[in-house]
Amino acid sequence: MIWKEPIDLDQLNFLPPSMANWMGIRFSDWTADSLSATMPVDERTRQPMGILHGGASVVLAESLGSVASTLIIDTNKYTAVGLEINANHLRPVRSGIVTGVSRLIHQGSKTHVWDIRISNDKGKLVCISRLTVAIIPAQS
């Protein structure tokens, strides 16, 4: 298991107000090596053409990877911050819920790399993203 301790999803869903909260992102599941979250496809996350905004998918991916990194570091000493993200948008989504699943690719002392796969509510892949997270000293 990559996590320091079992994950309390209720606690994750009551983090301080942020973009993820505003967009309706909810942490939904975890396994020994993954963290998942859902996001509605609605007026907050669609672009003017009526499909899921690519930026919304990136927010879901970065939220998943950044929180996941936070769950595997000593937060008394370090902070996890996004360093680089890319995303390939594979299929449009007009409504429903998308689910992102993050899995650790690399865990170094200064960087983590996450693979995040986002699927629609039929299980079809919508977006593949890779996030590099910098592990920096915590501010005192």
Amino acid identity, residue 22? W
| Structure tokens belonging to residue 74 | 């000593």
Q: Indicate the number of domains in the chain.
A: 1
Residue 36: closest CA among 109, 90, 92, 115: 115
| CATH number of domain containing 61 | 3.10.129.10
62 is catalytic: yes
pTM for the whole structure: 0.96
Annotated catalytic residue within 5, 43, 62, 84: 62
79/23 Cα distance (integer angstroms): 23
How many CB atoms are located within 10 Å of the residue 17 CB? 7
- Span 77-122, pLDDT tens digits: 999 999 999 999 999 999 999 999 999 999 999 999 999 999 999 9
- Span 27-37, pLDDT tens digits: 999 999 999 99
pLDDT value at position 127? 98
**Is 31 within the bounds of a domain?**
yes
Domain housing 125: 9-137
**Is 76 within the bounds of a domain?**
yes
Residue 27 makes CB contacts below 8 A (sequence gap 6+) with: 7, 9, 12, 13, 35, 36, 37, 67
